[in-house]
Amino acid sequence: MAELKLGKYHGTGNDFVMIEDPDGEISLSERLVAALCDRRFGVGADGLIRVMRADDADFFMDYYNADGSTAEMCGNGIRCLGKLVFEHGLTGKTEIAVMTRAGLKHLSLHTRGSEVESVTVDMGHPAFTKAEIPMRGPAWETFLEQPIKAGGMTLTGSAVSMGNPHLVLFVDGDPEQVEVERIGPELEYSSMFPERTNVEFVVISDGQLNARVWERGIGETMACGTGACAVLVAANEAGLAPARADVRFPGGVLDVERRDDGVLLTGPAVRVFEGTLDPAWLAETAPS
CATH assignment at residue 27: 3.10.310.10
| 229 catalytic per annotation | no
In the chain, the number of structural domains is 2
Tens of pLDDT, residue by residue over 138-191, are 999 999 999 999 888 899 999 999 999 999 999 988 777 888 999 999 999 999
Which of 37, 80, 224, 229 is catalytic? The answer is: 224
| 224 catalytic per annotation | yes
Q: Identify each DSSP E strand in 57-126 by its residue range.
A: 59-65, 95-100, 103-112, 115-122
Q: Is residue 129 part of a domain?
A: no
Q: Is residue 106 part of a domain?
A: yes
Q: Is residue 133 part of a domain?
A: no
CA 247 to chain centre: 14
Tens of pLDDT, residue by residue over 65-113, are 999 999 999 999 999 999 999 999 999 999 999 999 999 999 999 999 9
Which of 37, 74, 80, 229 is catalytic? The answer is: 74
Tens of pLDDT, residue by residue over 193-211, are 999 999 999 999 888 899 9
Residues 160 and 118 in one domain: no
How far CA 59 is from CA of 23, 159, 225, in Å, comes to 11, 30, 19
pLDDT value of residue 2: 66
